[in-house]
Structure 1
Amino acid sequence: MTIRNLNALFKPRSVAVIGASRRPGSVGAVLARNLFRGGFDGPIMPVNPKHDAIEGVLCYPDIDALPMTPDLAVICTPPDTVAGIVEALARRGTRGVVVITAGFGEGGDEAGEQRRQAVLDAARPQLTRIIGPNCLGILVPRIGLNASFSHLAPPRGRLAFVTQSGAIVTSVLDWAKRRGIGFSHMISLGDMADVDFGDTIDYLANDPDTRAILLYVEAITDARKFMSAARAAARMKPVIVVKSGRHAASAQAAASHTGALAGSDAVYDTAFRRAGMLRVDTLGELFAAVETLASTEPPAGDRLTILTNGGGIGVLATDALVGQGGHLAELDDDITTALDEVLPATWSKGNPVDIIGDAPGKRYADALAVLADNAETDAILVLNCPTAVADSMDAAEAVIAEHQRWQASGSGQRPVMLTSWVGEHTAQDARRRFAEAGIPSYTTPEAAVRAFMHMVAYRRSQEQLLETPPSVPELFQPDHDRAKRLIDRAVDEDRAILSEPEAKSLLAAYGIDVVPTEVAATPAAAGEAAERLGLPAAIKILSADITHKSDVGGVVLDLETAEGVRSAAEAMQRRVAKTYPDADLQGFSVQPMVKRAGAWELIAGFTEDAQFGPVVLFGQGGTAVEVIRDQSLALPPLNLKLAKDMVSRTRIYRQLQGYRDRPAADLEAIALTLTRIAQIAADLPRIKELDINPLLASAGGTIALDARIRVGEAGDGAGRLAIRPYPRELETRVRADDGSDYLLRPILPEDEPALHRAFSHLTPEQIRLRFFAPMKQLSHMAAARFTQIDYDREMALIITDPDRVPGEAELYGAVHIHADPDGEQAEYSIVVRHELTRQGLGRILMEHVIDYARQRGIGAITGEVLRENQPMLALCRQLGFSERTDPDDRDIIEVQLPLNDAG
């Protein structure tokens, strides 16, 4: 389930309170009081057999006695009674329930878990939706709904706040009331037995009264639903999140470096970034970020100009900026000269622009007028500290007037403005005036800089959501059967760890370069293998019982002779026998030494997270990898753009770009290796951890020197990934009516250039019939949204060249369906290049997308067709669509194909 019946929770027309009470201080009494006094314009029906009336309203003894079926019921009765109440409500037709009561399995209590399941079983037949149990309730100020036991009611606003913690709701309400912040919704999810973050994000993303979504997250339940909802919502409005539990009390034991390095909080951070959400550290930062985003558009970059009347606070702001990765804007000669003309000779002559402590309002305004024209600045932070020789309020009014002049002039792109009037008594009125003028204001310079960098991060995340990845360098088909045989052999032999040669063979099956490796059962055989492979050689101990070979002296490098290899192997045997006498020693892996001048040792691999499934890791490698801890994470699947972003987030990235006489590493080869590791994660669900350390990278490419792979149960296959991977199984060859062969496949982000080329081949008439309006070109945003799709919610099938890589291959036709979050119906759109019409490509596309929708369990396919588009209407009739005229526009025919026979 997703948003089905959520209107009963957030837009009810009637409410029942089960367990309402008159007992002072009880939850039932507070709930009833809040509901009756919240201003809700609809029937509120208290239910309690012990009372005749509550808050002056007739009280009913039980649900059957209610005069009408409530849309929403709020339950605060003992836990053993809740399942029966939910069953009775569902039977009457109630579709929204909030369970305030605790005692449903918190802390792993078995009896509570049974109660929880009983409640879900009672709700399921009628699709009654449940918030909670163990929650504070919900508040929807726009309709006067306060179905909570909160001590305060917020004013109406356009922020939605969703949290698992009821205590956080009351704290936020208290904090926000003093600042006059209003909300569209406040939702306490509690234990999330049914309605969870994914559901509420989906609902709020499409709510016109919600401008931004704020989340306080303790844990995610359904990762794929969460990621799909968050990625969709973040393209429409800001989604800002605080995640508690940043520092884990203990680290989970892992069989690889990758598993040890990928901590759960880092995975959450990765998920939030991939979804385009902005993560902040505290509730204060959460609302500061909202205030900033509400007041102004995000800046184009991270270049900040600081205007101040005090050198000290300017330095503090600069330190905060540099420490968070921002940059001071450059002041060119023209700007400096212009400032010389309006400022005292003693001004700082640089950024920060210190205009001296006696600065009156006019000096602020004059400086801002000059700095606004600086093309090198993305934002201006205006600072003021109180002095005895200048009026802070005068300065504030001058800044406001200058800002208003910027807005009125409408001349070009102006930088973003932020302010910080330092202090309490003298600064309060100024901050109030800034708030009235819509200018973000902060109590400290550091807080202002942090808000600026949050805006920068948000802008970058939005750009990354829509950035077109480069084409892949070549068509690539992994040897999936070979990889599966290697895994099956290990499973059949009851081994959790693939041998190093097996691991390298699997990597090679996916196009990852590996050093040739042989297994030798004895020291003598190791010497012989070294001669075959080439000297100098390296040998490593081969044992599933030894995780890190170097810890036991199980790696020896640069052996020049076969005799040296044999002697080293014998010594290795003795060390292992002494250190790990119970270890099962299978022999030795032997490989030639690979020496590449100027190469870097990297680590790459993936591990499986409990919430988000496979997580790819990249960073600086070598034996000290856990000490260095230079790594970045990403959720598969990956394209080249995402992989390059991943590399850029590590400290070693700057080195990989080359320095002095050391040439740059082949960054494209590194990124390609990461995409193939991600593909292994998506394709082979039995692999739980994969570790390449070191992955040697140089100007000549990459090569895996050592690899370790742990296998286990297959689990949910592709369903274990938080983001549904590219559905390769939908690829098929098709033939047009003229005999031409094409490839039909799902669209990829790399196809955007081909989409633009295809659009240029459409006639004006085709564009009008398809888009219902004339268009000269397809915008990047529109094309990105069509090509960068969430395969879990929508599908676009294209007809393209069979033997060319995405991006270079032409796009001849496309069909797209977008399902609602519940899969009840999906709307289609289709287009075929003009020169290929009447070749049957439209029919091929429609037949395949209908088959896909039926397999996915979608209830119906719908569409809108202009009445004059007779070829499309004829095709719809052939395929079994029904028709009806749009009641609001007789030129539009609504078509629908029920798919109820699915499954």
Structure 2
Amino acid sequence: MTVRNLDSLLKPTSIALVGASRQPKSIGAVVARNLFNAGFDGPVMPVNPHERSIEGVLCYPTVESLPITPDLAVICTPPDTVPDLVRRLGERGTKAAIIITAGFGELGPEGKALQQRVLDAARPHLMRIAGPNCLGVMVPGRGINASFAHVNPIRGDIALIAQSGAVVTSIADWATSRNVGFSHLISLGGMADVDFGDLLDYMAADHNTRAICLYVEAITHARKFMSAARAAARQKPVIVIRSGRTDEAAKAASSHTGALAGHDDVYDAAFRRAGMLRVVELDELFDAVETLAMGVQITGDRLAIVTNGGGIGVMATDTLIEEGGCLAGIDEAVMAKLDAVLPPTWSRGNPIDIIGDASGKRYADTLSALVGDRNHDAVLVINCPVAVADGAESARAVIESLKGRKHPVLTSWLGDSSAQEARHLFASSRIPTYETPSKAVRAFMHLVRYRKNQELLMETPASTPEQFQVDEKAARAVIDAAIADGRGWLSEFEAKHVLEAYGIPVVETLKAGTPDEAAEAARRIGKPVALKILSVDIIHKSDIGGVQLHIKTPEEVRAKAVAMLERVRALRPDAVIEGFTVQAMASKPGAHELIVGVADDPLFGPVLLFGQGGTSVEVVQDKALGLPPLNTNLAREMMSRTRVWKLLQGYRDRPPAANDQVALTLIKVSQLVTDIAEIVELDINPLLADDTGVLALDARIKVAVPALVPGSRRLAIRPYPKKLEKRVKLNDGREFLLRPIRPEDEPIIHRMFERMTPEDIRLRFFAPMKRLSHQMAAKLTQIDYDREMALVAVAQMADGQDELYGIVRIAADPDNQKAEYAVMVRSDMKGKGLGYVLMTQIIEYARSRGIGEVFGEVLRENTTMLAMCHELGFTRRENRDEPGVVEVRISLAEPAGKT
């Protein structure tokens, strides 16, 4: 249901407390005290048939006896009373309830059945449920403390959403002592209804919320969560902590990929793809919020460290390297500037030790030499308290030297009382400051990781380096045959056929039923071969001697096949053996052994894995995970998170590997599991990679019978909807390809913008614009196809490049009830019917998605657009808040048509 009726939960005008109590230390008594003493300016109505008043306020015996219908009900009664209470409140018109009571889904089947009864009671009334088994909800800015927390949190602009009530109270306690305030503190508890996705949608649009902090144990609906998280992270920082980092649920997996894809690693990949920043400790949470909120912009991971204490600088360096950052270099020009202002005994390197007696002027002179230098991405300034220099004076000098300059600087003034004034000065000047250098370094790395994740969210990746054709029909034929046989695993021979159908190079492989046939296959190949046992029951062949390499003659192949057969039958008498595969030994001396795979996560669906391959893959544990669908940049980013990535760049006499081909293999595998939902595990191990290309030596594929979730619906991120592509023709005979927008369309959007007249730009954007920024173009092209849709009309030019002539888009609300449209046609195409075609197509798409209404805003002077809207069946009305703007809308309950 997403944001529907969440205002009743978070902005109620009246509250009923059902189960209010006077019994000391009871939940009902603590919640009552908090509700009555937090400053809420609406009526709070306690409900308890056994009490006359609570907290000096008249008590009501039943919900029916309440004098007005409460927007929000807080329920603290025994679990078996809750379903009927929810029904009765819903019948009165209450739109939200917080169920603090425990004893539901966490207790097993009976509790889950009771929880379902609560949901069934709420559903007819569109009533939202927070909880059950939750601490409650606090909205300090509205004086709402509907919880049994022990503190009233301070008003601020950070939203905290957590499953654990203990985490909420711990953070509230910690934050109150440090004067950190919140817009919302929400305990989700059992998440029977309201979940992370709902609240991310709500907080993204909340003007009182500057940053969103999540404490996650588990999420419920992966695609809903990813869609909401990506939308929120585009607008404000989203920082997440997740417990359970040592989850070992993947131990039972059969494939290498399944064993390596730990559940927490999947969450990590999802958070990264959604543009969020993950931190580990609670104290990091607010450091990260404050750092990101300061607006410090960095472009890389190279840090320059300025300190008046050499040992402290070394310790900061250790933390930097351990966290994955880089110590910046100092070029000759900067070195000369520093020599001119520092004592001869300075460190002449980074960390820049300016010596213990450093005055404020020395700090300022050092910063002046560094500001503007492109050899670093940020400066960390450290001050250790000494008797011969004033720390506050040094802080003022640093602040003064940075006035009028936009340079990333972080500070750490050590000490307790001696550093208080300096920290206050930095905070007042919006310069990030931290109690210790290690916290400052971690804050810098927060910025580094956040920037990278935002790039993944907002990037405009290049087109796939080469187009590849897939033969989905051939791949499906192999998989359908295995399913018809009742087999879960494809043989190596079958798996390679599937890979070949998707353009993944595989080593020449022949199938042999007997040792004599294996010898004949080797004779046909005509060069040294590898011999492998062929059995769908044996997943890891090398573990039982089912692999022999570098066999030179057919006679040797026959002898080794006989010995292999005896050995395997002795070790695995239960296995059905089909025979052997004989494959040419790959001639790739010095090639890197990689692994590319897929595991099916029960929550996020298919998860891709890349790393260093070979038989020791589980021991080496060099891996990176990502969610499909992939493009080139996302594939390369996955690769860059592994240790083997550095080797793939080349070293000494070894040239760089064909990394575009490795990335393309990841993209092809991504497409394969997007197209064929029956695939639940896949390994290509090893995938050989050198400077000439890639080659799959071994492969295994596991299928589910039937597919657990059909098609691309199982993906946490909706892939490019190719089925929406179609050709359209205008009345003048001109044809265009109408297709969904792609991330790589940014260049053609810029070209189209350059062909627009200033007047057309003003009519479309309601303001003059000389150029389209990269950020806006990225936002237009990098869309979440699950929530937004943009269709572009393109024609191919003589050079094979697409040219953009028009674009139409809709953005649906999280409830999928209404969608706002926008349309733009290139100025030289106005009046030719393209706008009408685009609008017709997007309306039909909206109708197919079940959207009830499409609306938009049009300048009154844009008579062409208003006339087209009238022709399409839109109604119109003047916008009272914005003179000159007309609101147009069309109901999709009936087919659109001319009026």
Q: What TM-score do you get using the length of structure 2 for normalisation?
A: 0.96
1:373 and 1:593 map into 2 onto residues whose CA distance is 55
Per the TM alignment, residue 514 of structure 1 is displaced from its structure 2 partner at its CA by: 1.6
**Given that residues 536 and 560 in structure 1 are in contact (C-alpha distance below 8 angstroms), is that contact kept between their aligned partners in structure 2?**
yes
Per the TM alignment, residue 568 of structure 1 is displaced from its structure 2 partner at its CA by: 1.7
> Alpha carbons of 1:803 and 1:504: their partners in 2 closer, same or farther (altered >3 Å)?
farther
Q: Any idea what the Cα deviations from partners look like across 1:635-687, whole Å, max 9, x if unmatched?
A: 00001110111111111111111122212111111111111111111111110
Q: Which residue of 1 aligns with 2:80?
A: 80
Q: Which piece of structure 1 moves more, 651-660 or 592-601?
A: 592-601
Q: Which residue of 2 aligns with 1:591?
A: 583
**Given that residues 35 and 147 in structure 1 are in contact (C-alpha distance below 8 angstroms), is that contact kept between their aligned partners in structure 2?**
yes
Partner of 1:810, secondary structure, is strand
> Is 1:654 aligned to residue 646 of structure 2?
yes
1:321 and 1:167 map into 2 onto residues whose CA distance is 32
Q: Which residue of 2 aligns with 1:843?
A: 836
Per the TM alignment, residue 615 of structure 1 is displaced from its structure 2 partner at its CA by: 0.4
Q: Which residue of 2 aligns with 1:153?
A: 152
**Given that residues 420 and 448 in structure 1 are in contact (C-alpha distance below 8 angstroms), is that contact kept between their aligned partners in structure 2?**
no
Q: Aligned AA for 1:382?
A: V
- For residue 674 of structure 1, the aligned residue among 666, 669, 673 is 666
Partner of 2:345, secondary structure, is coil
> Alpha carbons of 1:22 and 1:322: their partners in 2 closer, same or farther (altered >3 Å)?
same
**Given that residues 855 and 902 in structure 1 are in contact (C-alpha distance below 8 angstroms), is that contact kept between their aligned partners in structure 2?**
no
1:873 and 1:323 map into 2 onto residues whose CA distance is 60
Partner of 1:849, secondary structure, is helix
Q: Which residue of 1 aligns with 2:859?
A: 866
Q: Which residue of 2 aligns with 1:164?
A: 163
Q: Any idea what the Cα deviations from partners look like across 1:83-133, whole Å, max 9, x if unmatched?
A: 1111111111111110000000205x2111111000100111111111100
> Alpha carbons of 1:601 and 1:396: their partners in 2 closer, same or farther (altered >3 Å)?
same
Q: Aligned AA for 1:41?
A: D
**Given that residues 391 and 413 in structure 2 are in contact (C-alpha distance below 8 angstroms), is that contact kept between their aligned partners in structure 1?**
no
1:140 and 1:787 map into 2 onto residues whose CA distance is 36
Partner of 1:147, secondary structure, is strand
Q: Which piece of structure 1 moves more, 137-146 or 560-569?
A: 560-569
Per the TM alignment, residue 436 of structure 1 is displaced from its structure 2 partner at its CA by: 4.3
Per the TM alignment, residue 503 of structure 1 is displaced from its structure 2 partner at its CA by: 1.0
1:593 and 1:810 map into 2 onto residues whose CA distance is 47
1:868 and 1:382 map into 2 onto residues whose CA distance is 55
Q: Aligned AA for 1:284?
A: D
Q: Which residue of 2 aligns with 1:402?
A: 398
> Alpha carbons of 1:823 and 1:240: their partners in 2 closer, same or farther (altered >3 Å)?
same
> Is 1:784 aligned to residue 782 of structure 2?
no
- For residue 742 of structure 1, the aligned residue among 726, 736, 742 is 736
> Alpha carbons of 1:664 and 1:339: their partners in 2 closer, same or farther (altered >3 Å)?
closer
Matches for 1:463-478 after TM superposition, within 5 Å: 463-478=455-470
Q: Which residue of 2 aligns with 1:91?
A: 91
1:196 and 1:343 map into 2 onto residues whose CA distance is 57
> Is 1:773 aligned to residue 771 of structure 2?
no
2:432 and 2:638 map into 1 onto residues whose CA distance is 32
Q: Which piece of structure 1 moves more, 340-349 or 570-579?
A: 340-349
Partner of 1:65, secondary structure, is coil
Partner of 2:671, secondary structure, is helix
> Alpha carbons of 1:95 and 1:160: their partners in 2 closer, same or farther (altered >3 Å)?
same
Matches for 1:31-46 after TM superposition, within 5 Å: 31-46=31-46
Q: Which residue of 1 aligns with 2:787?
A: 793
- What percentage of aligned pairs have identical amino acids? 59
Q: Which piece of structure 1 moves more, 869-878 or 614-623?
A: 869-878
Q: Which residue of 2 aligns with 1:190?
A: 189
**Given that residues 853 and 889 in structure 2 are in contact (C-alpha distance below 8 angstroms), is that contact kept between their aligned partners in structure 1?**
yes
Matches for 1:256-267 after TM superposition, within 5 Å: 256-267=255-266
**Given that residues 598 and 663 in structure 1 are in contact (C-alpha distance below 8 angstroms), is that contact kept between their aligned partners in structure 2?**
no
> Alpha carbons of 1:508 and 1:837: their partners in 2 closer, same or farther (altered >3 Å)?
farther
> Alpha carbons of 1:702 and 1:814: their partners in 2 closer, same or farther (altered >3 Å)?
same
2:44 and 2:249 map into 1 onto residues whose CA distance is 48
Structure 2 gaps, min length 5 = none
Q: Which residue of 2 aligns with 1:699?
A: 691
Q: Aligned AA for 1:125?
A: P
1:505 and 1:781 map into 2 onto residues whose CA distance is 43
Q: Aligned AA for 2:824?
A: V
2:374 and 2:531 map into 1 onto residues whose CA distance is 59
> Alpha carbons of 1:636 and 1:244: their partners in 2 closer, same or farther (altered >3 Å)?
same
Matches for 1:469-508 after TM superposition, within 5 Å: 469-508=461-500
Partner of 2:884, secondary structure, is strand
Per the TM alignment, residue 428 of structure 1 is displaced from its structure 2 partner at its CA by: 4.5
**Given that residues 419 and 439 in structure 1 are in contact (C-alpha distance below 8 angstroms), is that contact kept between their aligned partners in structure 2?**
no
Per the TM alignment, residue 250 of structure 1 is displaced from its structure 2 partner at its CA by: 5.2
**Given that residues 601 and 621 in structure 1 are in contact (C-alpha distance below 8 angstroms), is that contact kept between their aligned partners in structure 2?**
yes
**Given that residues 250 and 258 in structure 2 are in contact (C-alpha distance below 8 angstroms), is that contact kept between their aligned partners in structure 1?**
no
Q: Aligned AA for 1:823?
A: N
1:725 and 1:608 map into 2 onto residues whose CA distance is 17
Q: Which residue of 2 aligns with 1:282?
A: 281
Q: Which residue of 2 aligns with 1:644?
A: 636
**Given that residues 391 and 418 in structure 2 are in contact (C-alpha distance below 8 angstroms), is that contact kept between their aligned partners in structure 1?**
no
Q: Which piece of structure 1 moves more, 128-137 or 355-364?
A: 355-364
Q: Which piece of structure 1 moves more, 439-448 or 583-592?
A: 439-448
Q: Aligned AA for 1:781?
A: Q
Q: Which piece of structure 1 moves more, 695-704 or 870-879?
A: 870-879
**Given that residues 726 and 739 in structure 2 are in contact (C-alpha distance below 8 angstroms), is that contact kept between their aligned partners in structure 1?**
yes
Q: Any idea what the Cα deviations from partners look like across 1:427-484, whole Å, max 9, x if unmatched?
A: 4554445444433332322121111111121122223322211112344442122222
Q: Aligned AA for 2:287?
A: A
Per the TM alignment, residue 773 of structure 1 is displaced from its structure 2 partner at its CA by: 2.4
Q: Any idea what the Cα deviations from partners look like across 1:662-715, whole Å, max 9, x if unmatched?
A: 121111111111111111111111100111111111112112111100000312
Q: Which residue of 2 aligns with 1:515?
A: 507
Q: Which residue of 1 aligns with 2:362?
A: 363
Partner of 2:251, secondary structure, is coil
Per the TM alignment, residue 629 of structure 1 is displaced from its structure 2 partner at its CA by: 1.0
Per the TM alignment, residue 306 of structure 1 is displaced from its structure 2 partner at its CA by: 1.6
Q: Which residue of 1 aligns with 2:50?
A: 50
2:488 and 2:63 map into 1 onto residues whose CA distance is 56
Q: Which residue of 1 aligns with 2:747?
A: 753
Q: Any idea what the Cα deviations from partners look like across 1:394-424, whole Å, max 9, x if unmatched?
A: 22343134314523xx24x323232241x44
- For residue 852 of structure 1, the aligned residue among 819, 827, 845 is 845
Partner of 1:177, secondary structure, is helix
Partner of 1:64, secondary structure, is coil
> Alpha carbons of 1:828 and 1:534: their partners in 2 closer, same or farther (altered >3 Å)?
farther
Per the TM alignment, residue 163 of structure 1 is displaced from its structure 2 partner at its CA by: 0.4
Q: Which residue of 2 aligns with 1:14?
A: 14
- For residue 882 of structure 1, the aligned residue among 875, 880, 890 is 875
**Given that residues 210 and 237 in structure 2 are in contact (C-alpha distance below 8 angstroms), is that contact kept between their aligned partners in structure 1?**
yes
> Alpha carbons of 1:802 and 1:538: their partners in 2 closer, same or farther (altered >3 Å)?
farther
> Alpha carbons of 1:153 and 1:232: their partners in 2 closer, same or farther (altered >3 Å)?
same
Q: Which residue of 2 aligns with 1:452?
A: 444
Q: Any idea what the Cα deviations from partners look like across 1:191-227, whole Å, max 9, x if unmatched?
A: 1000111111110111111100011111111111111
Give the superposed CA RMSD: 2.0
Matches for 1:485-564 after TM superposition, within 5 Å: 485-564=477-556
Q: Which piece of structure 1 moves more, 882-891 or 228-237?
A: 882-891
Structure 1 gaps, min length 5 = none
**Given that residues 392 and 421 in structure 2 are in contact (C-alpha distance below 8 angstroms), is that contact kept between their aligned partners in structure 1?**
no
> Alpha carbons of 1:743 and 1:296: their partners in 2 closer, same or farther (altered >3 Å)?
closer
Q: Aligned AA for 1:160?
A: A
Q: Which residue of 1 aligns with 2:388?
A: 390
> Is 1:65 aligned to residue 59 of structure 2?
no
Q: Which residue of 1 aligns with 2:120?
A: 121
Partner of 1:478, secondary structure, is coil
2:754 and 2:818 map into 1 onto residues whose CA distance is 31
Q: Aligned AA for 1:13?
A: T
**Given that residues 15 and 43 in structure 2 are in contact (C-alpha distance below 8 angstroms), is that contact kept between their aligned partners in structure 1?**
yes
**Given that residues 314 and 354 in structure 1 are in contact (C-alpha distance below 8 angstroms), is that contact kept between their aligned partners in structure 2?**
yes
Partner of 1:801, secondary structure, is strand
> Is 1:633 aligned to residue 594 of structure 2?
no
Per the TM alignment, residue 765 of structure 1 is displaced from its structure 2 partner at its CA by: 3.0
1:623 and 1:799 map into 2 onto residues whose CA distance is 50
> Alpha carbons of 1:660 and 1:369: their partners in 2 closer, same or farther (altered >3 Å)?
closer
Q: Which residue of 1 aligns with 2:319?
A: 320
**Given that residues 640 and 671 in structure 1 are in contact (C-alpha distance below 8 angstroms), is that contact kept between their aligned partners in structure 2?**
yes
> Alpha carbons of 1:752 and 1:250: their partners in 2 closer, same or farther (altered >3 Å)?
closer
**Given that residues 160 and 186 in structure 1 are in contact (C-alpha distance below 8 angstroms), is that contact kept between their aligned partners in structure 2?**
yes
Q: Which piece of structure 1 moves more, 459-468 or 169-178?
A: 459-468
